[in-house]
Amino acid sequence: MSLDITIRIGGQAGQGMQSIGYIIGKIFTGHGYHVFMIQDVESRIRGGHNFVQIRIKDGPVHAVGDKVNLLVALDRVVIDEDLHDLAENGVMIFDGAKTGFKSDNPNHLDVPMERLAKEAGKSKVMLNTVATGAVFAVLGTDLRPLQDRLLKQFAKKGDNIVENNKRCASAGFQYVKEKFQDLPSYNISLRPSRRGKMLINGGEALALGAVCSGLKFYSGYPMSPSTSIMEFVGAMAEEHRIILEPAEDEISAINMAIGASFAGVRAMTATSGGGFCLMAEGLGLAGMTETPVVIVLAQRPGPSTGLPTRTDQADLWFAIHAAHGEFPRAVFAPGNAEQAFDIMGKAFNVADKYQTPVIVLGDQHLNDSYFTVDEFDTTKITIDRGKIFSDDQIPSPMDYKRYAWDDSGISPRILPGQTRAVLYAASDEHTEAGHITESAAVRNQMMQKRMKKIEGMRREMKKPVIFPSEKSDVVILGWGSTYGAMKEAVEMMNRDGLKSRMVHFSEIFPFPPMDVSAIFSKTTRIFAVECNYTGQFADLFHFETGIPVHHKILKYDGRPLSPMDIITEVKARI
């Protein structure tokens, strides 16, 4: 029988739910399963009601499930609020002594996690490792892989910590085994340890993609949910000789990145909506001076501060139109970790080739969710730094023109410090040489030069992912991080006999050239699926293709769309 199990670990911020989930995810990924894990956390450091939810399948998994098979409650509030999400026959692990909760439901396993942690690990904070052991017991797997993982995880922290953790895991595991012998276990057998797969979240994939594309300079100011990108670049900085420069604000961050890029290195920044607002002027500066720069805009629910730790897709139009005046830019929106990794490479290439800013839209759901993926193949990355004259390519050194006319709109750059010529870049409208101008004719020429790049950029944009290949009348249209939910929804609907296909865009602007008639006919019913209030992509799609969307399935409460959110709406409307 195929495995598909959803585990939720809930508790207060600071109780280490993430680490339980992460360990489970690693182990199952390493032993032949696929894992998808989301984080649902409040904007606080301690307390509150938070959880991670991890789904384990023996085949690819893309989205959260709607029902929880195993609930681990580290705190009372979880029992009170999440118990109703438990599937029939679902199991809950809780600590009766700590929470004061009592239950005679045989599926509610009272495990004295805090006491066991104190006994086995000498500290009640290790209750999360006890819980992990208990989870493995319920799943019916061996304890061994968990012990191995704990060793790997904590080796750096010293033998003592490793031992305490192992003892705690074992205590939780044994307690469940002994006390709840009647419980029908899942009896999952971990497959032989296997390479070729890895567990990674979207933020890490974005950072990794950037680093593997030759990122050399990162400037930023922390802002959820983009911060993990900065931190992860920081973790890789020493080894890969990247400069990570903490900026005093986002205005500085983007201007530093522009400076670094002007000097010749690949540079980026990442932020969320509020920080992106502050970067808008810099975006236009990059557009006007034709300086490549990559900006990750990790979306969260707005307006304004909104819900800092939650997810949304409401910054699409803003990304497309941010900054005054008209200039080329590209906007990408990867749908999962693989796409995130790949798109960063492309973003840098497009930025360099077209000497223009590129925006990569992430969001909390993409950035913080963990995916099981095939190991990234870093050898497949191609790097295109665009037209940069070497010294001997400079045609006339005393008269080098940074913005020389070219039908493609792209003028060869030089870098400051090259010995044969100097360059002038200016944010004012400028001559080909880069000096400030008032001429109407030059203005027209320069506008045309810059805007011409859009044609080339459009040709680079990848068509949407269409799945499955057979035509159907129900089309689920979406973009960015709803990829997984769309995929699962379409799979489920087709399995249930409701013929449908998904059309998912990850390369958004300039809108890719496409023959829409291949996808849409008169009988097609399009359901646009997005995490925002107005259906921003649906509108863009309509605007760009002339095809109206029939229904918008929208969610804007900060929680990710699930496959069932889609299926329920589709069924209700056809």
Partner 1 sequence: MLSLEDFRSDDPIAWCPGCGNFFILKALKNAFVELGKQPTEIVIVSGIGQAPKTPHYLRCNTFNGLHGRTLPVATGIKLSNHELTVLAEGGDGDGYAEGGNHFIHAMRKNIDITYLVHNNQIYGLTQGQTSPASDLGHVSKTTPKGSPSPPMNPIMLAIASNCSFVARGFCGDIEHLTYLIKEGISHQGFAFIEILQNCVSFNKTNTLKWYKDRVYNINDEPGFDPTNRMQAFERAQEWGAGIPIGILSRTERPALDTQVSAIKEMPLVKQGINPASFAGIVESFR
Ligand X SMILES: Cc1ncc(C[n+]2csc(CCOP(=O)(O)OP(=O)(O)O)c2C)c(N)n1
Under rule CB under 6 A, which residues in 295-354 are in contact with ligand X?
305
Residue given tokens 């191995």 in the structure block: 148
- CB of 228 vs partner 1, minimal distance in Å: 9
Strand order in the sheet with 215-220: 243-246, 215-220, 266-271, 293-299, 357-363, 330-332, 507-509
Cβ 118 to a copy of itself, closest distance in Å? 31
Judged by beta carbon, residue 1 or residue 45, the one nearer ligand SF4 is: 45
425 binds, among a copy of itself, partner 1, ligand SF4, none (CB under 5 to 8 A by kind): partner 1
440 binds ligand SF4 (CB under 6 A): no
φ, ψ of residue 134 to 5 degrees: the values are: -60, -40
- Is the Cβ of residue 157 or residue 324 nearer to a copy of itself in the bound state? 324
What is the Cα–Cα distance from 134 to 401, expressed in whole angstroms? 68
Q: Give the DSSP letter string of 170-212.
A: HHHHHHHHHHTTTS----PPPPPP-SSEEEEEHHHHHHHHHHH
Site for a copy of itself in 287-306 (CB under 8 A): 287-289, 299, 301-306
Q: Which two tokens stand for residue 365?
A: 């759901």
Q: What string marks each residue from 421 to 440 as x (binds partner 1 by CB under 8 A) or -? A: xxxxxxxx-----xxx----
CA-based nearest residue to 349, from 391, 375, 316, 387: 387
Round to the nearest angstrom and report the end-to-end CA distance of the chain: 33
Which parts of 197-236 interact with ligand X (CB under 6 A)?
221-223
Nearest-approach distance from CB 221 to ligand SF4, in angstroms: 18
Q: Which is nearer to ligand X, 223 or 529 (CB)?
A: 223
Q: Which does 324 bind (CB under 5 to 8 A by kind): partner 1, ligand X, a copy of itself, none?
A: a copy of itself
Task: Report the nearest approach of ligand SF4 to the CB of residue 526 (Å).
Answer: 46
**Is-contact 7 135, C-beta < 8 A?**
yes
Task: Candidates 11-19, 102-110, 396-404, 557-565: pick the segment binding a copy of itself (CB under 8 A).
Answer: 557-565
Strand, coil or helix: 356: coil
Q: Which two tokens stand for residue 128?
A: 């999360």
- Minimal distance in Å, beta carbon 43 to ligand X? 9
3-state secondary structure 3-26: CEEEEEEEEEECCCHHHHHHHHHH
Residues with Cβ within 8 Å of 321's Cβ and at least 6 positions away in sequence, in order, are: none
Minimum CB distance to partner 1 smaller for 70 or for 340: 340
User: Which CB, 246 or 416, lies closer to ligand X?
Assistant: 246
Residue 386 interacts with partner 1 (CB under 8 A): yes or no: no
Residue pair 195/327 in contact by the 8 Å Cβ criterion:
no
Say if CB 333 and CB 347 are below 8 A apart.
Answer: no
Q: Provide the minimum distance between the beta carbon of 275 and ligand X in the complex, in angstroms, as a whole number.
A: 5
Residue nearest ligand SF4 (C-beta atom): 45
**Tokens matching residue 413:** 């750059």
- Is residue 253 classed exposed, middle or buried when 0-12, 13-18 and 19+ CB atoms within 10 A define those classes? buried
Smallest gap from Cβ 42 to ligand SF4, in A, equals: 12
Instruction: Please tell me what DSSP assigns to residue 332.
Output: E
Among 3, 4, 19, 43, contact with a copy of itself (rule: CB under 8 A): 43
| Residues between 269 and 298 that touch ligand X (CB under 6 A) | 274-275, 278
Integer CA distances (angstroms), 35 to 214, 275, 523, 550, in order: 29, 32, 37, 33
- Whose tokens are 């699926």? That residue is 529
The entry of a copy of itself, ligand X, ligand SF4, none near residue 456 (CB within 5 to 8 angstroms by kind) is: none
Residue 494 binds which entry of partner 1, ligand X, a copy of itself, none, with Cβ cut-offs from 5 to 8 Å by kind?
none
45 binds ligand SF4 (CB under 6 A): yes
Shorter beta-carbon distance to partner 1: residue 5 or 208: 208
470 phi, psi to nearest 5 deg? -65, 140
Which CB, 318 or 348, lies closer to a copy of itself? 318
Binding mask 1-40 for a copy of itself (x = CB under 8 A): ----------------------------------------
Cα(58)–Cα(315) distance, rounded to whole angstroms? Answer: 35
Q: Which is nearer to partner 1, 394 or 474 (CB)?
A: 394
109 vs 223 by CB, closer to ligand X: 223
d(CA 460, CA 347): 11
Positions touching a copy of itself (CB under 8 A) are: 42-43, 48-49, 251, 272-274, 276-278, 280-281, 283-285, 287-289, 299, 301-308, 310, 312, 314-315, 317-318, 320-327, 426-429, 436, 438, 440-441, 443-444, 447, 450-451, 532-534, 539, 542-543, 556-559
Positions touching ligand X (CB under 6 A) are: 221-223, 250, 274-275, 278, 305
Positions touching ligand SF4 (CB under 6 A) are: 45-46
